[in-house]
Amino acid sequence: MIRLLIALFLITPLALQADDEAFYKITDAEGNITLSDTPGGESSITESITIKQPTTVSAVPLPHASFIKKDTSPKQKNYQSLTISSPAEGQTLPYSASGIRVNAQLTPALKKGHRIIYTFDGAPITSPAGSNSALITEAYRGEHTVSAKAINAAGQALISSPPRHFFIFQQSRLNK
């Protein structure tokens, strides 16, 4: 039964292309089923298969979209740009036990109730509310990525900065 279903599945595209062509289910002496467009030999059982044309339905045209109401509520003024001003792209900084300061530049200035959220290597960094900077306290040698986004009081992102890549160089006894 499974073989028959697989065979029907395989010949369905052919059947859809063919108009009024005959197809045959051929069962040989060992019980193997074959589907073909030619009848089987005398040592097999051949049944004619009729494949019906599929039912098709034309698409219904959609009404004009004039019934959709446009949002006429006053828009909240959004920010124009948010960039990481330091560290610079590709900059190499020396390791500092006191941390690395990340600064963002937001145009226009941060509004009341909004915050800048920073991410360092994909993890959020806590920063004081209303501040345009954050301190990364656990940054070790290697390549790092920092980004920022301004959010409103509801936590919705208003604007995001492009990621900034920088490097931290940590002195070792081998390269003094």
pLDDT, tens digit, for every residue of 67-95?
545 544 444 557 889 999 999 999 998 88
In the chain, what are the domains? 2-49 (no CATH), 81-171 (2.60.40.10)
Contact of 105 with 86, CB cutoff 8 Å: no
Provide, rounded to the nearest whole percent, the portion of the chain with pLDDT above 90: 16
Helix/strand/coil percent split, the chain, to 5: 10, 35, 50
pLDDT at residue number 83? 92
At position 123, the amino acid (one-letter code) is A
Contacts of residue 170, defined as CB under 8 A and 6 or more positions apart, other chains included, come to 94, 95, 140, 141
| Average pLDDT, rounded, for the chain | 80
Position 176 pLDDT exceeds 90: no
Tell whether omega for the bond before 74 is within 30 degrees of 0, i.e. cis.
no
Q: How confident is the model at residue 20 (pLDDT cuts 50, 70, 90)?
A: low
21/157: higher pLDDT: 157
The whole-angstrom distance between residue 144's C-alpha and the CA centroid of its chain comes to 23
Q: Classify 175 as helix, strand or coil.
A: helix
Report the pLDDT averaged over residues 133-149.
Answer: 89
How far, in Å, CA of 50 to CA of 36, rounded? 12
Bridge partners of 167, per DSSP, are 92, 143
**Who wins on pLDDT, 38 or 11?**
38
pLDDT, average across residues 56-77: 59
The candidate with the shortest Cα–Cα distance to 159, out of 106, 84, 122, is 106
The Cα–Cα gap between 13 and 26 comes to 19
Average of per-residue pLDDT across 138-144: 86
- Non-local (6+) Cβ contacts of 149 within 8 A are 82, 116, 117, 157, 158, 159, 160, 161
Q: pTM (2 decimals)? A: 0.52
Which tens digit of pLDDT belongs to each residue from 89-113? 999 988 887 888 999 999 888 888 8
**Closest C-alpha to 146, from 109, 119, 126:** 119
Q: ∠ CA 113-119-121 to the nearest 5 degrees?
A: 175
